[in-house]
Structure 1
Amino acid sequence: MTSRQPLALSTLSAPAPPRLAVSASRQPPSLLRLPALLGAEVSLWYRFVRRDLPAVVIPGLVMAAAALRSTGATAILDWARVIGSGLVFFGLYLYAFCLINQISGAEEDALNKPDRPIPSGLVTLQGARLRWAIVMAAYPITGLCLGGIRLACFALLAQLLFVAHEQGGLHRHWLTKNLCCAAGLLALLAGAWQMAAPLTPAAWRWIAFAVTTFGLTLPLQDLRDAEGDRRSGRTSLSMSVGEPAARAILAGLIALLPAATHFLLIAPLHRGLRGAACEALLALLNLATAARTATLRGERADHATYMLHTFWFSALVASALVVL
């Protein structure tokens, strides 16, 4: 679509309007464009983060809701405040990580994920770096405004881990990569609870269990990116021990999660029917994921298996709403 060219002043019979009047007449179109610009930025945010939404924003919102429920709050305004604040805070968390991750991996994404914003040409590397700088500044400031110094500290911890993961090279080996990601989830979930209520021993137990179990099984995501890992020089679990052994290890760990959930999490906190119902749902997701890991191959199948695992993680965090 071509842009319209302005008429030459020489073709007009009336004198040109004063300079001040021209400047004022241009203001309303600029203001009218603001919603469209904001909408475009939200759309770009979604394009950057859409693959990781189930593993970050949803668990963060649910953990914040569990914290608010534990206080006995019933006012609609309280719930609206926590949910609205969480959408902003966790959205910034995820955006900061995805931006630096996709800036660092732009060449790899051109081969494996060409639909992402940078390789698809939706945004330039310079534009992505500018957005990352803005988000990194906004994230801890937002934490300070929403939850005080403690929430700001969790935001700063997450940022330190983002930089260590990408710029510090921790993503090069599956062990350091998973430890870093688990620590990032700890900062996320602890910050989510802190946003709505002070952290309690029961909350810490839930957070520690969720972070540890998800962190141990996080190499599941690397099964779908095996070719990209080889080309970029990363060492994944399947490259270390072989794909058959990696699948057996991960399927075995995931299959053991129902027992761990019962003895280490649910039983010490809640022995009633609600706790049993949560266990049954979580076990079903675990067993389905373990079976898929052991029997299905291919990038699409492995991606679907990993997404099912992230749904389990979200359901595990959501169970805190029922049990705590």
Structure 2
Amino acid sequence: MISPIDLQYMPSSLTAISLAGPHLRLNIPGISNLFRFIARHIHTAILFTWTDYKTIFLPITVFGCATAPVQSIGHLLQACLWIWLHLLLCNVSNQASSKSEDLVNRPWRPLPAGRVNDSQIKILRVTMIGLCISWSLALYGVEIMLVTLGLVLTTYAYDEMGLARSPVGKNFCNIWGYVSFETAAVRLMGSELSFDHVARVAVCLSGTLIFSTIQAQDFPDVEGDKAAGRVTLPIYAPELSRVFTLLIIPLWSAGLSWYWGVGWVTKVATVLLGCLVGVRYYAWRTPKSDRRSYLIFNVWLGAMSILPLHARFGVFAF
């Protein structure tokens, strides 16, 4: 994917290396422009995924490390790369169909900022699908490839079939997306590509948790969702969604602490953190407050993600 801005770098970059008799001659300014050309595209890829490092990449990575548990640095790096590539796949697809929303909420993203145009993002979208399917099949086999394919189909349903505009449809897509990421993370970080009982239960509980709390990410984006024609729970039921969030997050804290059998200090700490998140969403309702509440929500989500570690090693007995 080459934008018009990048084309100005290409002539000098392509002629940066030339032959003079038997000797190779380097044009240093041309090499510099080539590095700038590459760096720009890396920066663009990072911008596509920037808002989801704290919401998907880090929580999924923590969940995989705790649930598998992670076997080595090599397993961790492979899983992180898989997660990031598939996160890029999802975000390119989402942002290709949400330009109007991003113009309101996140004008720095590549499409509204003009780093890519509409035709380029469509090409990138197809390229990422082919790359991720091939990556999973070639390196990890049919089982992980099917996880990728499921994620591709979910993303298509979310962006192209209109499920993003329905509170229930959006939640179902989100739960399947999270479960897909978590399944791959656990399988790639573990000692073998298989689930045990702890992993299966942890993924099921996590998916249900996401389904019932996903509105937490919608509160800060109400104006953008309205601009995109989406009907999220905070738009459809503003007061009910606040009350539900106030209650469900502390309940999940208590329920997961009890299920995984952690000690009383850990139970009290997780419940207090859940109460803090719930009360913030209910009591402070400005966009700025909601964005801060969402950051704390992701801290809470990370805390819930590591509780299965107790089932393996008893690390939260205190």
Q: TM-score, normalised by structure 1?
A: 0.81
One-letter code aligned to 2:215 = P
Instruction: Indicate how the Cα distance of structure 1 residues 28 and 142 shifts in structure 2: closer, same or farther if over 3 A, else same.
Output: farther
Q: Equivalent residue of 1:118, what SS?
A: helix
Structure 2 equivalent of residue 301 of structure 1: 289
1:316 corresponds to which residue?
304
Q: Deviations over 1:152-203 (max 9, x none)?
A: 1111111110111001110011111011100111111111111123111211
8 Å contact from structure 1 (residues 67, 193) kept in 2: yes
- Structure 2 unmatched runs, 5+: 1-7, 12-17, 313-318
Partner of 1:256: 251
C-alpha distance in structure 2 between counterparts of 1:67 and 1:148, whole Å? 21
Give me the identity figure in percent.
Answer: 22
Q: For the residues of structure 2 that align with 1:163 and 1:304, how far apart are their CA atoms?
A: 30
| Letter matched to residue 155 of structure 1 | T
- Provide the C-alpha distance between the structure 2 equivalents of 1:193 and 1:90, rounded to a whole number of angstroms: 11
Matched, 1:292 2:292: no
Question: 2:199 aligns to what?
Answer: 203
Using the TM superposition, name which of 96-105 and 312-321 deviates more: 312-321
Question: In structure 2, what residue type is equivalent to 1:61?
Answer: T
State the Cα distance separating 1:31 from its structure 2 match: 6.2
Helix, strand or coil for the counterpart of 1:217? helix
Map 1:8-157 → 2, pairs under 5 A? 21=20, 25=25, 35-69=35-69, 73=71, 79-157=72-150
Structure 1 segment 199-238 matched on structure 2, within 5 A: 199-238=195-234
Q: Whose Rg is larger?
A: 1
How far apart are 1:35 and its partner, in Å? 4.7
How many residues were matched structurally? 294
Q: Distance in 1 between matches of 2:128 and 2:117?
A: 16
The answer to whether residue 260 in structure 2 is matched with residue 266 in structure 1 is yes
Amino acid at match of 1:218: I
- Tell me, yes or no, if the aligned pair for 1:47 and 1:116 is still in contact at 8 Å: yes
- In terms of mean alpha carbon deviation, does 309-318 or 157-166 score higher? 309-318
Find the counterpart in structure 2 of residue 245 from structure 1. Answer: 240
Letter in 2 for 1:62: V
Q: Report SS of the residue matched to 2:172.
A: helix
Runs of at least 5 residues in structure 1 that lack an aligned partner in the other structure: 7-18, 74-78
Q: Secondary structure in 1 aligned to 2:110?
A: coil
Measured at CA, do residues 27 and 65 of structure 1 come closer, stay the same or move farther in structure 2, by a change above 3 Å? Answer: farther
Provide the aligned C-alpha RMSD in A: 2.8
Report the Cα offset of residue 277 of structure 1. Answer: 4.9
1:185–1:211 contact (8 Å) kept in structure 2: yes
Offset, 1:286? 1.1
- Rounded Cα–Cα distance in structure 2 between residues aligned with 1:82 and 1:60: 14
Q: What are the Cα deviations for residues 105-144 of structure 1, in whole angstroms up to 9, with x where unaligned?
A: 1122112321222111222222222222222111122222
CA distance in 2, matches of 1:119, 1:219: 25
The answer to whether the 8 A contact 1:104-1:166 is kept is yes
**Partner AA of 2:125 in structure 1:** W
1:89 positional shift: 0.4
- The answer to whether the Cα contact below 8 Å between 2:68 and 2:187 also exists between their aligned partners in 1 is no
Evaluate the alpha carbon distance shift between residue 279 and residue 43 of structure 1 in structure 2; reply closer, same or farther with a 3 A threshold: farther
Distance 1:256 1:69, change over 3 A: closer
Length-normalised TM-score, structure 2:
0.83
Shift of 1:86: 1.7
After superposition, the C-alpha distances for 1:50-89 in whole angstroms (9 at most, x for unaligned) are 111122211332233235537xx4xxxxx22112112210
1:163 equivalent in structure 2: 156
Equivalent residues of 2:67, 2:198 under 8 A apart: no
Between stretches 282-291 and 176-185, larger displacement belongs to 282-291
